[in-house]
Amino acid sequence: MIETALHAHLVARGAHHADDHGVALPRHFGDAEAEYRALRERAAVIDLGFRTLVLASGADRVSFFQGMLTNDVARLEPGRNRPALLLTIQGRVTADVRVAELGDALGLDVDVRARDELLAALDKLLIADDVELAQADVALIGVEGPGAADAVARMPAGTRVLRGGELGADGVVVHTSSADAPAVWDAIVAAGAQPCGMDALEGRRVELVIPRIGLDMDQSTLALEVPVDFALSQTKGCYLGQEVVARGTARGHVNRKLVSMALAGPLPPAGTPLVRDGKEVGRLTTVARAYGAGTGAALGFVRREHWDLGTELAVRHGHAVTIATIADLARSSG
């Protein structure tokens, strides 16, 4: 199991860690509901050690990634991450990245558990291009909430602050060295941000229907089946998988899509089937607590005949039966 650069530091500050798909991450710091409120109302600081930074250098780096990634990387804004996907030629999701212009290189912020798959795919696509890929020795710290910008207004020397984080464009990602990460974390907390674990973050992510690679999308997932419009450019030229995306957009529908659901009953594990009239019509991908809505919640794929708001589906796990209701959790959370 991977331990992040902040692991020991946060254990000493009350973090309760758990295995998060191969990475030891803080689940909470004692009060997940208070951490959720900080995400929504003030500022919350998050260990993003489940993500890593790949540097792309070389004279062809911009033109190469402009032809590979789904978003426009030829017009990156200074100081801001731009979300994008790397697709297969069939339009399926290999990885999600946040791309930033770092001067002499592009920074590719990617889930550490998808990094090897991303690099392997890029290696096959690099032929005569002047592009070099290297792992950066950088620790990533996230700050979310309306007070995020104020919490990082006075960062120690040697840090880089980029807008665009886990929950959308208003979040912030701080790049620092692994050695300096504990001091940077403490500086952000001293500036008013509340330490926040994955329980609150995942609950808010489910409410906002933000898919995570390896959980809610992978190479079995078409890009159009997940709500990733923010990562797809409609105006730039061709990119890998673009023809499939264009055909699906023109057709106007897909046969299944990722939706949010309120859960009534025992929380089932991810992967549990969704059933209607005795037939499987979908499957859960992420299960969390939606603190704003005050309910158990989930993301999952549902067939188009059953994804209307208010539709009730059975979630059968063992002898327990939980009812999943298709819901707009972002609206019900206020």
Last residue of a domain, one of 228, 253, 278: 253
Task: Report which of 208, 144, 133, 196 is spatially closest to residue 174, judged by C-alpha positions.
Answer: 144
CATH number, domain at 203? 3.30.1360.120
Give the separation between CA 19 and CA 8, rounded to whole angstroms: 15
Give the Å distances, CA to CA, from 4 to 9, 183, 286: 10, 15, 22
Contacts 24+ apart (CB under 8 A), 84-87: 84/231, 85/223, 85/228, 85/231, 85/232, 86/118, 86/121, 86/122, 86/240, 87/223, 87/239, 87/240, 87/241, 87/244, 87/245
**Cβ atoms within 10 Å of 213's Cβ, excluding its own:** 20
Task: Give the per-residue SS3 of 230-253.
Answer: HHCCCCCCCCCCHHHHHHHHHHCC
Percentage of the chain exceeding pLDDT 70:
99
Residue 320 has pLDDT above 80, yes or no: no
Identify whether residues 124 and 5 lie together within a single domain.
yes
> Who contacts 77 (Cβ-Cβ below 8 Å, separation ≥6)?
none
Tell me which of 142-156, 219-233, 234-248 is least confident: 234-248
- Which of 118, 70, 13, 54 has the alpha carbon at shortest distance from 242? 70
Q: Please identify, among 253, 277, 311, the residue that sits at the C-terminal boundary of a domain.
A: 253
For residues 286 and 221, membership in a common domain is answered with no
- Tell me if residue 276 falls in helix, strand or coil: strand
Range of the domain at 267: 255-332
Kindly state whether residues 318 and 220 are assigned to the same domain: no
Cα dist. 56→59, 62, 200, 206 in Å? Answer: 10, 9, 33, 31
Q: How confident is the model at residue 331 (pLDDT cuts 50, 70, 90)?
A: confident
Contact in structure between 15 and 194 (CB atoms under 8 Å): no
pLDDT at 74 over 70: yes
Whether 297 and 287 share a structural domain: yes
Is residue 16 domain-shared with residue 3, that is, in the same domain? yes
50 with 20: CB under 8 angstroms?
A: yes
What angle is formed at CA 34 by the lines to CA 332 and CA 41, rounded to 5 degrees?
60
Q: How does pLDDT run across 168-197, given as a tens digit for each residue? A: 888 999 999 999 999 999 999 999 999 999
d(CA 214, CA 140): 19
The model's pTM? 0.93
How far apart, in whole angstroms, are the C-alpha atoms of residue 10 and residue 7? 5
Question: Do residue 267 and residue 249 come from a single domain?
Answer: no
Q: Are 242 and 259 contained in the same domain? A: no
Domain count, the chain: 2
59 phi/psi in degrees, rounded to 5? -65, -25
CATH of the domain at 281: 2.40.30.110
Is 234's pLDDT higher than 90? no
Query: Is residue 333's pLDDT more than 70?
Result: no
pLDDT at 305 (0 to 100): 93
Same domain, 106 and 227: yes
| pLDDT (0 to 100) of residue 245 | 87
Q: For the chain, give the mean pLDDT.
A: 94
Q: Does one domain contain both 38 and 154?
A: yes
Could you give the CA distance from residue 296 to residue 289 in angstroms, rounded to a whole number?
5
For 180, list phi and psi in degrees, rounded to 5: -90, -5
Q: Give residue 334's pLDDT.
A: 60
181/275 same-domain check: no
- Assess whether pLDDT exceeds 90 at residue 31: yes
Task: Give the strand pairing for 106-111 and 51-57.
Answer: antiparallel
Q: For residues 236 and 234, what is the distance between their CA atoms, to the nearest angstrom?
A: 6
pLDDT digit string, tens, across residues 239-279: 999 998 888 777 777 899 999 999 999 999 999 999 999 89
Q: Kindly state whether residues 162 and 287 are assigned to the same domain.
A: no
State how far Cα 290 lies from the chain centre.
16
113 and 23 within one domain? yes
Q: Are 325 and 203 in contact (CB under 8 A)?
A: no
Please compute the mean of the pLDDT values over residues 301-324 and round it to a whole number. 91
pLDDT digits (tens, 9 = 90+) for 116-136: 999 999 999 998 899 999 999
Three-class secondary structure assignment of 98-131: EEEECCCCEEEEEECCCHHHHHHHHHHHCCCCCC
Mean pLDDT, to the nearest integer, of 285-310?
94
pLDDT at res. 67? 94
Q: What is the DSSP string of 280-334?
A: EEEEEEEEEEETTTTEEEEEEEEEGGG-STT-EEEEEETTEEEEEEE--HHHHT-
Single out the residue in 191, 221, 253 at which a domain terminates: 253
pLDDT band at residue 330 using 50, 70 and 90 as cut-offs:
confident
Residue 227 confidence class, pLDDT cut points 50, 70, 90 = very high
Give the residue carrying structure tokens 């990460």: 181
